Structure 1
Amino acid sequence: MMMSNSIIHYSQFGGLVMFIEERHQKISDTIKANGKITIAEITSKYGISDESARRDLRLLEQKGICKRTHGGAISIGQVSVRPPVDRNFDNMPIFDNYREISRVAAGKIRENDTVCLTGGSFGHIMVSFLPRDIHYTVVVNSVDIGKELRSFENIDVYIAGGKMRQSGSLVDSLANEFVSRLHFDLCFITGAGLTAEFGLSNGTDETATFQRTVIKNSRSRCLVIPSSKIGVDSFIKVCDVDAFDSIITDWDCVEDQIAAIEERGVEITVVEEPK
């Protein structure tokens, strides 16, 4: 029973719990200390329903204490961990959100598909999850990823040529010309920012141009992007958000941003945080 913010709340599970204001303060303290909190944590700790937990977070969001996410809330200004600037992928730590997004994305590949797997963190991580029991073709624009794929006897591998960046990727005019002559059943794209209004954006013109060509020549287009980059606009627009058939992101995505993107008719998959 709940009569006001100063009235004691009785849990649906029975028994006296605590003043609502006290619960809100404790939830707020957890968010500030840990950067986030989940619905499951709130329901378990305070013995309330999912609906009550979501209502608590909605009220705290209105007070400017947090931003609601798919499975809970994060602190204002809290950003999910990103890979370091150093692009030595052999030594790069693999974060849970990148791993889970990559795992789900790789599950989209089907027998005899021609797939474009662009470079960067996700391209490298996805290699570990690529199917080994079916035959398909993979086109990459990274010499490092191409090297990793040498052990896959079930994959025909093509590497876009051109001037190699320090990261090992190739996105110049020669690489762009190469992919312009190909057709893909499925492409995996990532970026530096994504909003419903501006769409997908990236940091360099070469990367944006290369990605536009891949997107144009693909039958199915999947965007793999961490929650930390949703709600962010980077330097150069790649395409509108509805250029993608599907988007895969992680559990820390903010609800209002996801809702705005879903209104554009794009299917969004939010991967769950590993237990």
Structure 2
Amino acid sequence: MNTVERHQKIIHKINHKGQVKSQMLCEELDVSSVTIRKDLKFLEEKGMLYRMHGGATLSNPYAIDRHLNEKEKLYLDEKMRIGIAASKLITVHDSVLMASGTTVLALAKNISPLENLTVITSALNVAIELNQHREIEVIQLAGILRKRSSSVTGMFAEENLKDFSCTKLFMGVDGIDLEFGLTTANVAEARLNREMIKVSQKTIVLVDSSKFGKRGFGRICGFDNIDEIITDNQISNFSKSELENFGIKITIV
């Protein structure tokens, strides 16, 4: 197999799966790791893929810290479907945590008033959305308000969480990388999300498919902390099967 044929094989495989592992390419193409590194570097320079640790991906793996106003305009239909599906998991007498993010806000917009529902949130826009329902008690965490996300972070919010025990956490993320785990673009938000996981019996991630294969600056956790991921139907079969191997329930809407 010459270089051109090898490159064609790599492009075909990454177009089919969304990402590839270097070790797998070495074995399937019967070449050394040095050769594969050169191949991936060449293809990246041609704008055909992005290299990452241990392989390559079809989309840019680095998440951007976008402003809330910009995020709200992206993947509106997908986020609304995810929000509707997540709202069905909330039951009477639930005490749930809701983190920040536009997909979590979509959940807040689709919650039907329930008797004795308590919602604790770090997101100001989520609190305002839910506060219109008399049946829902809203607890807003204290802290430093981030203007880019309209949510609080910092030690005040982290200290507040120590007084609660919640049935479910609904959390949005900026990136899901099969090696690095779940991430967000802001380190302070990542730290607060970790504290939220500690006080929740079940963690449910709400994320549209564009976030798969992405990495944010701040790592939240690995996959052993996640119970369920609700996403849209553009998730790749590869990502779905790999996440299910971690024991995570994948709900596709």
Where on the TM-score scale, by shorter chain, does this alignment land: which range? 0.7 to 0.9
Aligned to 2:154: 172
Q: How many residues align?
A: 205
Distance 1:165 1:84 in 2: 12
Once the two structures are TM-superposed, the CA of residue 242 in structure 1 deviates from its matched residue by: 2.1
Aligned to 2:15: 66
Is the contact between residue 194 and residue 241 of structure 1 (CA under 8 Å) also seen in structure 2? Answer: no
Aligned to 1:203: 185
Is the contact between residue 226 and residue 250 of structure 1 (CA under 8 Å) also seen in structure 2? Answer: yes
Normalised to the residue count of structure 2, the TM-score between the two structures is: 0.72
1:132 aligns with 2:81: no
* Aligned counterparts, 1:70-219, within 5 A: 77=58, 85-88=66-69, 92=73, 95-166=76-147, 167-219=149-201
Q: 1:78 to 1:200 in 2, by over 3 A?
A: closer
Segments of 5+ residues of structure 1 without an aligned counterpart are 1-59, 70-74
Aligned to 1:221: 203
Once the two structures are TM-superposed, the CA of residue 114 in structure 1 deviates from its matched residue by: 0.3
Alignment-mate amino acid for residue 158 of structure 1: I
* Aligned counterparts, 1:8-19, within 5 A: none
For residues 36-91 of structure 1, give each alpha carbon's deviation from its aligned partner in whole angstroms, at most 9, with x where no partner exists. Answer: xxxxxxxxxxxxxxxxxxxxxxxx9983483359xxxxx98469xx9993424897
Q: 1:202 to 1:94 in 2, by over 3 A?
A: closer
Once the two structures are TM-superposed, the CA of residue 176 in structure 1 deviates from its matched residue by: 1.3
Segments of 5+ residues of structure 2 without an aligned counterpart are 1-8, 19-47, 50-57
Q: Which has the higher contact order (CA 8 A, sep 6+)?
A: 2
Alignment-mate amino acid for residue 234 of structure 2: D
- Structure (1/2) with the larger helix percentage: 2
Distance 1:201 1:91 in 2: 19
The share of aligned pairs that are identical, in percent, is 24
Question: Which is higher, the Rg of structure 1 or of structure 2?
Answer: 1
- What is the CA RMSD across the aligned residues, in angstroms? 2.8
For residues 20-41 of structure 1, give each alpha carbon's deviation from its aligned partner in whole angstroms, at most 9, with x where no partner exists. Answer: xxxxxxxxxxxxxxxxxxxxxx
Q: 1:152 to 1:61 in 2, by over 3 A?
A: farther
**Matched residue of 1:67: which SS?**
helix
Normalised to the residue count of structure 1, the TM-score between the two structures is: 0.67
1:247 to 224, 229, 232: 229
Distance 1:90 1:261 in 2: 25
Distance 2:198 2:108 in 1: 24
